[in-house]
Structure 1
Amino acid sequence: MNGTTTDDRDGTTARHIPLGRPPTSRRDLLVKALWIGVWLVFLSSPVEDLAGGGHSTAATVAGSCGLAVFVAVYLAMVFRNMGRPFPPRAVFGLGGVLGVLATVLACTLGSAWLGLFVYLAVAFGATLPLRAAYWAVPASALVMYLIGLRSDEKQARGLVVLALLIGFAMTGVGQLVRTTIELRKARATVAHLAANEERLRLARDLHDLLGHSLSLITLKSELAGRMLPGHPEQAARQVADIEQVSRQALVDVREAVTGYRRPRLAAELAGAQVALAAAEVVAEVPADPDLAGVPEEAESALAWALREAVTNVVRHSGADRCAVRLLRRETLDGPVLELTVEDNGSGGSGKGPGNGLTGLTERLEKAGGTLRAGRAKQGFRLVARVPATPAPDVGSGA
């Protein structure tokens, strides 16, 4: 989940608090506080009991202080630490404080305070380890029922069911938050490992490309230096060889850099899935494309087409659904790989192709492909085709 989603289509910014991550701005803090406040409305019974004047002044003050401490500990235990690694002693300590406060307040001030045990079950379910939560939630419900037998058995019976349902539901929520945090860490680790692997690959390729050439240039330079006084013609030949080797090394480096900069369709498909999800667009994206036999230049052209199409969907279309399809087709010109990106948005500006589509058309034509883009029944459709097999060598005919 993402903390901030910027929607360039209408100039608005949609913000939501990411799961398992603390708020990072005042607005996030306000949204989370409002969300917390909705659930605290169930504390209205204790508040009404205190405001009703049915207790002495000392009991009212003590009850108010106890309720304030209960709410503070509850919020600190649940909302600040849900899903995070938390010291077991702190968890059980705060849970014990909540349990003692709920028991004392319910026993001394009446059945209106039995609802505190529901919050206790929520706290146990959200923060305790699963094994501990499985007995702590029923135990809190049992204590509440036993206390309720003294004042209002019917109310206690109904709250027991509520405490069990919400408590065990919160065990699932807590597990979801923990899993989300672990997934986020795993993604960061994978990205770090991928970056390290790419650096290692770059180092290996540069060594393979330049190691031999630079060694040969060094050797021939030393040889030319020794030949220069007595054999200038041989030294000149060595210098000419040095020039040829250096030019070839430069060509190899340029080709390698071009390969690094060339986008890959599989990577662009994964990036499209992430970009569309971040823009809150329901996406259908193929996971494992079949690119066997597809020329690198054709694959690169399709990758550029996909990038341009997804960028247009996110920024300009106003769509909430997007389907990406990748199919092999047989045509009169031979087998082709067809990429289709279709959304249910506004269908484009209607002012003709923009610079992005114009450049994309030229790029596809250079790779032997074609591009069709225009309004569909429910939005905009882009169809890009490239040859699925290398072009035949005209000069190698029999």
Structure 2
Amino acid sequence: MRQARLIVVVVLAGFAGVYVIAGFPGAVAVFGVQVAYMLWRRCGWLLAAQAALVAGLSAGLGSSVAVIGFLGGALLLSRWWALTPLAVLGAAVIEHARHGEVRATLDATITTALLSLLIYGMGRLVDRAGELHANRAALAAGAAADERLRIAAELNDGLGRSLAVIVEGVRRALAGADMPAEVVRTARESLAMAREAAAGYRAMSLGPELTTARALLAAAGIGAEVREGHAEPLGPAGAVLAAVLREAVTDVVRLGAARTCLIETLDTDGTVRLRITDDGRRTAEDGRPGATAAQVEAAGGVLSAGLAPDGRYVVEAALPHRAAGEDEAETGRATYGESYGVVLGLLAAVLVGFSVKALLALPAGMVAPAAAVLAVVVAMQLRSVNGRHMVALGVMTVLAVAPVPVFGPVWLGVAGFVAGPVLLAFRWRVAWPLVAAVLAAVAVAGTAFGLPSAATANFTVSALVTGLVVYGLVRLARQVKELQAAREELARAAVVEERLRAARDLHDLLGHSLAAILLKCELARRLDPARARAELTGVIALAEQAEADLRSVSGEHRDLSLASEAASARSVLSAAGVEVTVDLAHPPLPAEAETVLSAVLREAVTNVLRHSSARHCAVSTALEDGVVRLRVRNDGARGARARHGSSGIGNLTTRLAALDGRLTTAAGDGWFELEAVTPLLASPCPIPAA
């Protein structure tokens, strides 16, 4: 926004400078009021003050009537826009009464109309930039809220109904009826639904896997560097790339020979690339891609792995993907297209207007060839609006210089058509010396033609102002484009973060509750009525917990209790025939820390049930050296390697990292241990999306 305002001030100051050089210092006051009206407050008294100043300069002090263009532009930006033609007509009347020449009257009228349109266009662009800057946070919040509502609707429609079916079936069983098989089937389907939904939300982004990979490598003592060059969310490609990253990092940690690992992503031309490089100095056959190779190929991508010439091992995957946030991008393109259309229309009007002014000063016999040359210049100018077109710039430079001996001093003003593209095409340290050279050439040529000093100065300043007008309009349009892109990026980031939050809660909270419900329902069907009744009573409690978890997934904040989770863990594991030892020796914890450690315990219990044939599990907490440690250790471990890169471990790593904590795992001969550490006085920060 500051840059947009500065552009407006500089362009308006250039116009005011023309009048000051012509001997009308009152233009400074007109400039000040115009800036205040456009950038501060558009109120009636400022408009009235501008009208009085303009009338005094043009009618009372004899200034060029084109100064009325300041008032015309201000009117176009107000609710009195319909009065603008009257202001331009007034300029024509005053000029005709003053000199009585048709050519001079046309020149003054064109200049007044062009200045009015220019001020209106710049005001519109600044307003648009201000709107985009002001509501960027609101858009992000609204996008997150919409996504939260969509997630809530999806989950309540599926999982909410399933929980109702389970509770109703269990209540009937408690009332004496046989528990229908539908309850167990629904519990199993609900758990699968929750896991599928969590994977789906998580698969929209590669960011969480990058966070997990960095944490796992650091925990293994491997120096990790992550360079992100992709835009989130990736959509379906994200799920495949996440699997590639997970498998590659797991191999790096498993082999244990690497000291450093570099992870890079790049998103170009509709293709997203992931590259994992480590210095483990493995053989070309070690760590070859496994099941992920088929996934990448099925997604239309390419996966390669092998030793690079420098001896490092490289895994690289490239997949095509549909542009993320396509609907939002279409909106952005429409918004920028509108601004770009305003710029092109205004720029064309300004260039044509300036060209007509030059043609009016030429003898009749030279009008046709001069018009042809100016048409080429205008076409090249409009082509140079977007991008850096050196050929067009070269053509304009030649056509601005070569015809000067033919058309005379009138052609000196065309140099301004070169100054604008120069400012747009080069960096300022190069552009301004070039512009200075253009202006110096105009001044030298004016002197060579024997023009009065005032006329030479007028041509020189006018060339600068023309260049500033071209630069200002195009740069303002680019500012709008950049702000639009930044606003959409914030909205996309908010949606991604909401999806990731839902995925974490689905996996870590609701997934555990549903797994426990399924376990108890299956157990109840195999027990005698008395013992089954106790398990079914537990199902009711777990269903209530699952409903609370579902509300949490849908966006409702909920603090968890470590003591309650430990009691639930004892109940669930005992039902599965696992002997449980619980030793909680932690002091009172901040709510954020207790909630995260509770989620860790839930995931640990779920892993014990899914990935082991445990007969004993020990849960303990302790305060050591200012940090709280939660340990969950079980025997009967199997598939520990697969667990190491799981999404659950990744979720917990991300949650703990937000509290400056960490998660570590260890495995031995048939045992597995998970340890979570968080500072007692943790300073919570937002959970990162990447």
| TM-score, structure 1 as length reference | 0.49
Per chain length, whose mean CA-contact separation is higher, i.e. which structure has more relative contact order (CA < 8 Å, sep 6+)?
A: 2
Larger Rg belongs to: 2
TM-score with structure 2 setting the length:
0.30
